[in-house]
Chain A
Amino acid sequence: MNWLIDFFGEPANWSGPDGIPTRLLQHVEFSLLAFAIAAIIALPLGLWVGHTGRGAVLVVLSANAARALPTLGLLVLVVLLIGVGTIWPVLIPLIALAVPPILVNTYEGIRNADADLRDAAYGMGLRGRQVLFSALVPVALPLILLGLRLAAIQVVATATVAAYVGLGGLGRYIIDGLATKDYPSVFGGAVLVVLLALAVQFGFALLNRVVVSPGVRQVR
């Protein structure tokens, strides 16, 4: 507790380029950007593979292998190859982190939709795209949102390592604190990241209520 008071009670921590608002904003910026790009890549791919069944084995296997990619390793490699100065060195590893859960959950959600539902949809004269978007996606939505949520939380938690190669974000408090044995700073940084992740979690719970049909929410 004392660590928390030391950290959050220090006025210097609330302003300037090293202040909490700035660091928080940087953290949100990386995370949001990486998450958005990952979703733009993974959602359509997952929908397409789940709906057509094409390349499913390849996609699932490579997504599972990609889950093993160490973010720290990717980060230092990218910085080494393209240098700092842009935001890409931190985005690329975070995108690699976020794509697999979104992709796999979207694919599974669509593929595991009830065969009778698919059959009835085609039988009534819906065309391929209509079957996907008006029958399969609404039913797969809880699983798709779960994938998005897991990805978002991993991105927020992992974006801390960006600080290792000199980038900003809440990881700075942790990395710098570690270097100077300033434990209140490490702890405070961790608490901020967890709070941010919980806010994301809460946001998704809310989104779930708004976009998932009550008819589907009850079934699961």
Chain B
Amino acid sequence: MDEPLIRWDWIARNWDNGSPLAIRTLLENHIVMAFVPVVFGLILAIPLGLACARWRLLYQPTTALMNIVYAMPSLALFSILLSVTGLTQTTVIIPLTLFSLAVLIPSVVDGMTSVPDHVRQSATAMGFRPLRRLILVELPIATPVVLAGTRVATVASISLVSVGALIGQGGLGALFTDGWQRQFSTPIIVGIALIVLLAVAADLVLIVLQRLLTPWSRARRSA
């Protein structure tokens, strides 16, 4: 290959050229398909996680189920859903929501477990009813752990969207298939770089969010 590894002129020409493969369009699609699953995941994981924390019996089977979900190849899920939801963003969003759940439910449960028993008891003793105690005491204390899980889910989601390119809906992943078909490295490198940058930026935003939401805790967990 006498081609240079990166042709900068290609990037300039394809940034916003109006085609469906314009980098900017792909980036926007990528952002939608990566973040919607995390948001849905959180909306579902909080009640499910609370239920698991409240009724411990539920947790074992839920964990087992989530372990199976986690083990599914994303490509296979996309392919199977393709026959149901067709070539739409939904085909990518549903499996990624499931993956987010697999990370977030344990985070919510761990977060609730991280609430010290003496805090819970003193809240009860001061006359908090269960719902109010949950919202004003337990959830805030669980927040750092849940946000740590959210960081992991977000980064994974951003990275996994690209696999959707194999079914024609992969955001920046389209640059990989395009580069592969044309045996041209520039789009591939651009795609990898943008995905990593997007993930790092999202991670930073979440770290800042965590500082703002829970000024009393210094985030320590990163796994």
Picked from A76, A143, A194, the residue with its CB within 8 Å of the CB of B188 is: A76
Q: A68-B159, A68-B196 are in contact. Are A108 and B167 (CB under 8 A)?
A: no
Picked from B73, B75, B180, the residue with its CB within 8 Å of the CB of A76 is: B180
Inter-chain contacts of A143 with B (CB < 8 A):
223
Within 8 A of B (CB), among A149-193: 153, 156-158, 160-161, 164-165, 171, 174-175, 177-178, 183, 186-187, 189-190, 193
Name the residue in B71, B165, B175, B180 with the highest tally of chain A Cβ atoms < 10 Å from its Cβ. B71
The closest CB in chain A to the CB of B165 belongs to A72
Inter-chain contact B71/A175, CB cutoff 8 Å: no
A interface residues, how many (CB within 8 angstroms): 45
Q: How large is the interface on B (under 10, 10 to 19, 20 to 34, 35 or more residues)?
A: 35 or more
Picked from B72, B167, B188, the residue with its CB within 8 Å of the CB of A190 is: B72
Inter-chain contacts of B177 with A (CB < 8 A):
76
Inter-chain contact A77/B72, CB cutoff 8 Å: no
Inter-chain contact B71/A76, CB cutoff 8 Å: no
Asked if A117 is at the interface of the complex by the 8 Å CB criterion, the answer is: no
Inter-chain contacts of B175 with A (CB < 8 A):
73
Asked if B19 is at the interface of the complex by the 8 Å CB criterion, the answer is: no
- State A165–B166 Cα separation when bound (angstroms): 11
Inter-chain contacts of A190 with B (CB < 8 A):
72-73, 76-77, 79-80
Inter-chain contact A177/B155, CB cutoff 8 Å: no
- State A189–B80 Cα separation when bound (angstroms): 11
Please encode chain B, from 57 to 75, with 1 for each CB lying within 8 Å of some chain A CB and 0 for all others.
0000000000110111111
Asked if A67 is at the interface of the complex by the 8 Å CB criterion, the answer is: yes
The closest CB in chain A to the CB of B5 belongs to A81
Asked if B195 is at the interface of the complex by the 8 Å CB criterion, the answer is: yes
Picked from A77, A158, A164, the residue with its CB within 8 Å of the CB of B166 is: A164
Asked if A147 is at the interface of the complex by the 8 Å CB criterion, the answer is: yes
- State A58–B82 Cα separation when bound (angstroms): 41
B97 nearest CB across to chain A (Å): 17
B208 nearest CB across to chain A (Å): 15
Q: A72-B166, A186-B80, A190-B80 are in contact. Are A108 and B70 (CB under 8 A)?
A: no
Please encode chain B, from 168 to 183, with 1 for each CB lying within 8 Å of some chain A CB and 0 for all others.
0000110111011001
Asked if B163 is at the interface of the complex by the 8 Å CB criterion, the answer is: yes
- State A39–B151 Cα separation when bound (angstroms): 24
Please report the number of residue pairs spanning A and B whose Cβ atoms sit closer than 8 angstroms.
143
- State A209–B36 Cα separation when bound (angstroms): 39
Asked if A12 is at the interface of the complex by the 8 Å CB criterion, the answer is: no
Picked from A68, A77, A108, A157, the residue with its CB within 8 Å of the CB of B189 is: A77
Asked if A13 is at the interface of the complex by the 8 Å CB criterion, the answer is: no
Q: A108-B223, A178-B166, A201-B67 are in contact. Are A73 and B195 (CB under 8 A)?
A: yes
Inter-chain contact A153/B71, CB cutoff 8 Å: yes
Inter-chain contact A70/B192, CB cutoff 8 Å: yes
Please encode chain B, from 197 to 214, with 1 for each CB lying within 8 Å of some chain A CB and 0 for all others.
011100100000000000
A176 nearest CB across to chain B (Å): 11
Inter-chain contact A171/B75, CB cutoff 8 Å: yes
Inter-chain contacts of B173 with A (CB < 8 A):
70, 72-73
Inter-chain contact A165/B180, CB cutoff 8 Å: yes
Asked if A74 is at the interface of the complex by the 8 Å CB criterion, the answer is: yes
Q: 25 A-B contacts, Cβ less than 8 Å apart?
A: A64-B151, A64-B203, A65-B199, A67-B199, A68-B155, A68-B159, A71-B159, A72-B165, A73-B162, A74-B192, A76-B177, A77-B188, A80-B1, A80-B183, A108-B221, A158-B73, A160-B75, A164-B180, A165-B180, A174-B76, A178-B167, A190-B76, A193-B71, A197-B70, A197-B72
- Chain B positions within 8 Å of A, measured between CB atoms, are 1, 67-68, 70-77, 79-80, 82-83, 151-152, 155-156, 158-160, 162-163, 165-167, 172-173, 175-177, 179-180, 183, 185, 188-189, 191-192, 195-196, 198-200, 203, 221-223
- Chain A positions within 8 Å of B, measured between CB atoms, are 60, 64-65, 67-74, 76-77, 79-81, 101, 104-105, 108, 143, 147, 153, 156-158, 160-161, 164-165, 171, 174-175, 177-178, 183, 186-187, 189-190, 193-194, 197-198, 201
